[in-house]
């Protein structure tokens, strides 16, 4: 049976890959965003997610792309992938980042649970580990950064993401719905592979994000695997490539830029510092797009 999925933020950098991947795999998809998609891969329902009334309407909508189809009656939605957000500090005021991200996510979870939608995948972020938008250099408590880490950021963006994880857990507790929160690493488009020449020349450029990366297409696969895997309840999973986005080995990067951070396990030569073990274990995710292969293309 065709599954119906609503993707929020499908007009954005990361969300467009999720929409494309789901459509390519036979899902019926509705994009809910405040701006249209550049490519019309799915229908966009223009919605402001900070308005609860609009969110309840959107999540009860028909996902059909063509209004002249035989049957356009709204049908139950199987899953929501919630990516819409302000994805960083600096582009709008801190309080707007916080309000939009926190209220948008509350509204999506509230509407999904009250409309009987049983699966929500949320975009959380690697910034929750506290190094990315810290006022100055911060040493994490340990490496690799795994989901057991005591997250303690200082900025409004990462704080909004942690609150969203707490909200997600509360809705799971209330209704039993599956909510998987993806702490996503730095998302790359194919055009971004050109930047590796610069990034490799100066490895300090990606120090704050601990050299994490994830190709948007690999992130989309993780979302689809999450939709297809029922019954995990509430889970937080990092989503990152297997390797660091640097031509320096992981041990060298840590020695140069984070010499005082304890490393809890032995790590592979280029192993990611943003651990993706849980994602692989719970969802069977595998990386398809490695920067070394993409740069050569």
Ligand X SMILES: NC(=O)c1ccc[n+]([C@@H]2O[C@H](COP(=O)([O-])OP(=O)(O)OC[C@H]3O[C@@H](n4cnc5c(N)ncnc54)[C@H](O)[C@@H]3O)[C@@H](O)[C@H]2O)c1
Task: Give the interface size with ligand X as a residue count (CB under 6 A).
Answer: 26
| Tokens standing for residue 94 | 């801190």
- Binding status of residue 15 toward ligand X by CB under 6 A: yes
Site for ligand X in 87-126 (CB under 6 A): 87, 100, 104, 123, 125-126
At closest approach, how far in Å is the CB of 216 from ligand X? Answer: 8
- Binding status of residue 212 toward ligand X by CB under 6 A: no
> Could you give the maximum distance between any two Cα atoms of the chain, in Å?
64
Half-sphere exposure of residue 83: CA atoms within 13 angstroms, side-chain side: 26
- Binding status of residue 20 toward ligand X by CB under 6 A: no
- The residue (of 94 and 252) whose beta carbon lies closer to ligand X is 94
User: How far is Cα 185 from Cα 250, in angstroms, rounded to an integer?
Assistant: 16
At closest approach, how far in Å is the CB of 266 from ligand X? Answer: 27
At closest approach, how far in Å is the CB of 124 from ligand X? Answer: 7
Closest CA to 234 of 173, 294, 288, 161: 173
262: DSSP letter: -
CA distances from 67 to 6, 147, 183, 233 (A): 17, 44, 36, 36
Site for ligand X in 71-90 (CB under 6 A): 83-87
Among 5, 14, 109, 220, the residue binding ligand X under the rule CB under 6 A is: 14
H or E element in which residue 183 lies: strand 178-184
- Binding status of residue 19 toward ligand X by CB under 6 A: no
- Binding status of residue 153 toward ligand X by CB under 6 A: no
3-state secondary structure of 43: strand
Nearest residue to ligand X, by Cβ distance, number only: 12
User: How far is Cα 182 from Cα 122, in angstroms, rounded to an integer?
Assistant: 6
Q: Judging by beta carbons within 10 Å of its beta carbon (0-12, 13-18, 19+), is residue 246 exposed, middle or buried?
A: buried
- Binding status of residue 245 toward ligand X by CB under 6 A: no
Among 4, 5, 6, 9, the residue binding ligand X under the rule CB under 6 A is: 9
| Tokens standing for residue 207 | 């120090």
- Binding status of residue 271 toward ligand X by CB under 6 A: no
- Binding status of residue 13 toward ligand X by CB under 6 A: yes
- The residue (of 14 and 22) whose beta carbon lies closer to ligand X is 14
- Contact residues for ligand X, defined by CB under 6 A: 9, 11-15, 33-35, 47-50, 83-87, 100, 104, 123, 125-126, 184, 186-187
């Amino acid at each position: 049976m065709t599954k119906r999925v609503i993707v929020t933020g499908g007009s954005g950098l990361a969300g467009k890959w999720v929409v494309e991947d789901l459509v390519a795999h036979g899902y019926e998809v509705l994009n809910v965003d405040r701006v249209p998609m550049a490519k019309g891969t799915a229908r966009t329902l223009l919605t402001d997610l900070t308005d609860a009334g609009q969110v309840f309407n959107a999540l009860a909508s028909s996902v059909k792309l063509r209004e002249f189809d035989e049957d356009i009656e709204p049908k139950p939605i199987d899953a929501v992938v919630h990516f819409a957000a302000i994805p960083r500090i600096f582009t709008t005021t801190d309080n707007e980042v916080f309000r939009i991200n926190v209220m948008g996510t509350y509204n999506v979870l509230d509407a999904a649970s009250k409309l009987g939608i049983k699966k929500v995948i949320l975009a959380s972020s690697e910034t929750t580990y506290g190094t990315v938008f810290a006022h100055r250099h911060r040493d994490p408590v340990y490496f690799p950064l795994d989901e057991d880490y005591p997250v303690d950021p200082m900025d409004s963006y990462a704080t909004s993401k942690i609150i969203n994880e707490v909200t997600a857990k509360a809705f799971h507790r209330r209704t039993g719905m599956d909510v998987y929160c993806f702490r996503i690493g730095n998302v790359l488009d194919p055009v971004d592979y050109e930047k590796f020449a610069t990034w490799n020349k100066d490895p300090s450029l990606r120090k704050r994000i601990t050299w994490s990366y994830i190709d948007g297409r690999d992130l989309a696969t993780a979302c689809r695997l999450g939709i297809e895997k029922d019954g995990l309840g509430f889970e937080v999973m990092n989503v990152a490539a297997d390797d660091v986005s640097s031509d320096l080995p992981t041990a060298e990067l840590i020695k140069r830029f984070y010499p005082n951070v304890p490393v809890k396990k032995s790590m592979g030569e280029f192993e990611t510092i943003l651990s993706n073990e849980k994602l692989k274990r719970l969802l069977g995710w595998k990386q398809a797009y490695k920067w070394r292969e993409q740069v050569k293309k």
